[in-house]
Amino acid sequence: MADKIIVFIDLEATGLDTSRCDIIQLAAVCEESVFNKYTVPQQNLTESATEVTGFRVQSGRLFRRDSPVETVPIDDLLTSFIDFLRSFRRPVVLAAHNVMRFDAPVLTRVMKKYDLFLQFQQVVSGFLDTFLLSKRLFPGISGYSQVSLVRNFLGKSYDAHNAEEDAKMLQELYNVWRPDQSRVMANTFKVNEKYFY
DNA sequence: TGCCAGGCCCTCTTTAGGGCCTT
């Protein structure tokens, strides 16, 4: 684990169905390095995703809360994300909240769809699930959503469902928690193609 | 027509059900 570097990520998507949703925003944070890109999804957002994320597509353009957002094609987003991860020149562990139930299946499926999974697998060694980690670290607290964890441990509210802000807050939480290596290892999972979606 | 994610975890469990967490 010592040779690895943890990159905190978050993605916003058109819905919760990991077998078919499209990525809208992908963000990654590692100390002061930040990656954040948007793409126009190919399918409509579910009603709840529109409500929760504030994204909508109109005339082929992406808007968040009525402000236009600069976008790139999805394959550009994915390749530049891999380039960003490769720039650390160390095996990367991608950390996200509930990553095993959402971000990992989506990322894996989409990387495979664009023939980028092998490249992805070459730079990413595992996924660290901070949702599972937080439940092990702090049993019995009132809730484990990222919003409630940020409120309880950092004492602030933030622009949730903006992937960049979510990733930055997750890094702050992790830095406050300072979990020992055995806890981190126990909640880190290998990258493979067998995610259920 | 009517449905619409789904695996993990917990417990008033195991011949099961419901809540959590992600968008």
Confidence check: pLDDT of A167 > 90: yes
CB A166 within 8 A of CB A27: yes
Size of chain A in residues:
197
Residue A103 backbone dihedrals phi, psi, to 5 degrees: -65, -40
| Burial class of residue A7 (count of CB atoms within 10 Å of its CB; 0-12, 13-18, 19+) | buried
What pLDDT shows up at residue A192? Answer: 72
Indicate yes or no: strand B within 7 A of the C-beta of A53. yes
Listed by start position, the domains of chain A span 5-192
pTM of the predicted model as reported, rounded to 2 decimal places: 0.90
- Dihedral angle, C-alpha A157, A94, A25, A20, nearest 10 °: -120
Superfamily grouping for domain A5-192: Ribonuclease H-like superfamily/Ribonuclease H (3.30.420.10)
pLDDT tens digit string along A38-70?
A: 999 999 999 889 988 999 999 999 999 989 999
Measuring from the CA of residue A147 to each C1', which nucleotide is nearest?
B21
Closest nucleotide C1' to the C-alpha of A11? B23
Predicted pLDDT of residue A196? 47
